[in-house]
Amino acid sequence: MRVHLVPVATATDLSAALAKPTRDAEHLIVDAHGVPEGYYLPELAESIAAQQEFNTVYPPTGVAAHAHLRDRVVISTACCSGSAEMSAAFTNGGASVFIAPTGYPGDEALLYLHCLVSKLSSPNSRCCAVNTGPT
């Protein structure tokens, strides 16, 4: 398994990562903070913020405008990123699958991601998922 880390500091960086994902990557992992409106963006200096298409939040409309994902599996760890709008933006942008939490999962999203990556990199791993919710 190959991993390509793409640092994202601004909305422009995220738009570029969505528009031209690494060619040989089958999965795109968006490891970010989320709010119901979209991906939370850090506060930027005024001079940098003035150059950004989005400030404060990167909404589903941003994903829809920039995503060209060519059948990638997209996994988002951001809280609230599993909304119907965000899911449609990613799948309409070419994602074959979009996996994301619909609320505020705490550490469970990272545990899931860890288990998934472990399983993908070593099919014989004994990774398991833990569900602490009601059955």
Residue 3 counted as domain residue: no
Predicted model pTM: 0.83
Rounded to the nearest 10°, the torsion over CA 93, 94, 95, 98 is 40
Residue 6 counted as domain residue: no
Q: What is the mean pLDDT of residues 95-113?
A: 85
**Residue 86: its pLDDT value, please?**
96
Residue 5 counted as domain residue: no
Q: How many CB atoms lie within 10 A of CB 115?
A: 15
Cα Rg of the chain, angstroms = 15
Total of domains in the chain: 1
Q: Calculate what percentage of the chain has a pLDDT beyond 70.
A: 87
Residue 100 counted as domain residue: yes
Burial 56-77 (b: 16+ CB within 10 A, else e): bebbbebbbebbebeebbbbbb
Residue 109 counted as domain residue: yes
**Residue 130: its pLDDT value, please?**
44
* Domain, as residue range, for 77: 11-121
Residue 4 counted as domain residue: no
Residue 57 counted as domain residue: yes
**Residue 50: its pLDDT value, please?**
96
Judged by DSSP in three states, 97 sits in strand
Residue 130 counted as domain residue: no
